[in-house]
Structure 1
Amino acid sequence: MFRRTFWFTSGVAAGVWATTKVNRKLKQLTPESLAVTAANKAIDAGGRLRDRAVDFALEVRDNMARREAELGDALGLSTPVDRELPSPRGYAVIENRNSTKYVEGPGHRPTYTTHPYNRNEDH
């Protein structure tokens, strides 16, 4: 009697365990789950690739600076260069002759309270 109960209980437990294992594997093989897994692996691979690219870029920059210093020493260009930005460019004013703010006349320069060509102006 105990032997039969033991084996029956063991069989039920093995059946529940196997059914649970099979259901988990089936859920992993659904299209949605496969898409999520593929996306996660692609994100991981992209991160690793980005890290390698950053390492490569840093190595190239270091080698470039070292080679530039070697060339500067070889050519006698070791004096520091003042790398100042150039002054900003001036822009030409576009006169809008159709504007009510524009007045023509001899010796009269047009005066504007706003920019003469304002695209956001109500028409």
Structure 2
Amino acid sequence: MFRRTFWFSTGVAAGVWATTKVNRKLKQLTPESLAATAANKAIEAGHRLKDRAVGFALDVRDNMARREAELGDALGLNADPELPAPHRRYAVIENRNDPKYIENTTYSNNRNEDH
């Protein structure tokens, strides 16, 4: 008698377990669930891609700055930022009264003037 009760209980438990597993799998395979899963995976992939792109951009910027410093050292640009006094050049103040700066008012560059 106990043997039959044991096997009956074991069969009922196995049936409940199998039914639960099948129902869960069927719910996962509905179109709504598949769409939600695909959307979640796409969002995760986008986040991973963005993180990698940001990391790549930071690496490129760091390496670019390092290489620029190396080139500046090789060319002697970083040695002394100010030139010696005899080699300094000063900006020339332009004379706006010079004839080459006087605007010619006889011509109009506006092609839409007559329209």
**TM-score clears 0.5:** yes
| Residues 4-51 of structure 1 deviation map (CA, whole Å, 9 limit, x = unaligned) | 222222111111110001000100111111111111111111111111
The residue correspondences of 1:1-123 to structure 2 (distance < 5 A) are 1-78=1-78, 79=81
- What code does the residue aligned with 2:35 have? A
- What code does the residue aligned with 1:36 have? A
* TM-score, with structure 1 as normaliser: 0.59
Higher normalized contact order (CA 8 Å, seq sep 6+, divided by chain length):
1
**Identity over the aligned pairs, expressed in percent?**
86
How far apart, CA to CA, are the structure 2 residues paired with 1:10 and 1:37?
35
How far apart, CA to CA, are the structure 1 residues paired with 2:71 and 2:5?
88
Q: Which ranges in structure 2 are unaligned for 5 or more consecutive residues?
A: 83-115
How far apart, CA to CA, are the structure 2 residues paired with 1:74 and 1:5?
90
| Residues 31-73 of structure 1 deviation map (CA, whole Å, 9 limit, x = unaligned) | 1111111111111111111111111111100111111112222
The CA RMSD over aligned residues, in Å, is 1.6
- What code does the residue aligned with 2:67 have? R
User: What SS is found at the alignment partner of 2:77?
Assistant: coil
Q: Which ranges in structure 1 are unaligned for 5 or more consecutive residues?
A: 81-123
How far apart, CA to CA, are the structure 2 residues paired with 1:76 and 1:5?
94
| Residues 60-97 of structure 1 deviation map (CA, whole Å, 9 limit, x = unaligned) | 001111111122223332229xxxxxxxxxxxxxxxxx
